[in-house]
Amino acid sequence: MSRILYSGTRNASSWAFRAWLALREQGIAFEERIVDIRKPQRFENLARIAVFSPPAAVPVLVDDDVVIHDSLAIMEYASELGASPLLPADIRDRARARALLAWVHSGLSGLCGRLSFESAFYPQRRRMTAQEQAEAGRILAACQQALVHSGGPYLCGALSLADLAFVPVLWRLFAHDVDASAWPHAVDWSERLLSRPTVREWLHEAEVLPPVYLDDYEP
């Protein structure tokens, strides 16, 4: 039996972070192969992934003869493979979790593209624009609403894939000094989530790497 996660550079691969988190939180054993997605070696390394995975991106989980590309598919697989699923049992709560997951997966209206995961590790980070703060506020307000509805401690009650999907988002926002004071439940939840041992493990490894500078980040 072989289960290999092709993941990405720790401070550059937010999608791999999510897949890795779901597998680790479910206690699923796997071999990890970190693909260096920094330029210029990125292209050659991803070409090797393309040989067995059509999107030529990471993460990819190869579980024996099943090739699962895309972080969301890996997260759902991890949820089902583990002893207890990382999606709520109730159909309506599960729909709420999936809606939040889908929102993150589609890039949160572009906010994540503009506040890259890489930039969250820069020693000097730019200020968020007023528009970015407003968009972040909408996200935090939605999370707070979910927390109030579920009663916490996580978005849908128990820890779910929705929480894990938000980890890299929260890391970006707080690294860019988001003003979250209007949403105290969301702040408590962020702290709870970001201090989970799995999250700390990945971030600790990311923090000691040289920053990955991108051309479109204006200080």
- CB nearer to ligand GSH: give 32 or 70: 70
Question: Measured between alpha carbons, how far is 69 from 28 in angstroms, rounded to an integer?
Answer: 17
Q: In the bound complex, what is the minimum distance in angstroms from residue 172's beta carbon to ligand GSH?
A: 13
- CB nearer to ligand GSH: give 59 or 157: 59
Q: Which pair of structure tokens corresponds to residue 195? A: 């201090």
Q: In the bound complex, what is the minimum distance in angstroms from residue 32's beta carbon to ligand GSH?
A: 15
Q: Choose among 79, 84, 125: nearest CA to 101.
A: 79
Q: Which pair of structure tokens corresponds to residue 157? A: 């009650």
Site for ligand GSH, rule CB under 6 A: 8, 13-16, 37, 46, 57-59, 70-72
Q: In the bound complex, what is the minimum distance in angstroms from residue 110's beta carbon to ligand GSH?
A: 14
E strands, 1-122, in order: 3-8, 31-35, 60-63, 66-69
Reported residue count of the chain is: 219
Question: Measured between alpha carbons, how far is 38 from 45 in angstroms, rounded to an integer?
Answer: 9
- CB nearer to ligand GSH: give 30 or 183: 30
Q: In the bound complex, what is the minimum distance in angstroms from residue 56's beta carbon to ligand GSH?
A: 6
- CB nearer to ligand GSH: give 70 or 188: 70
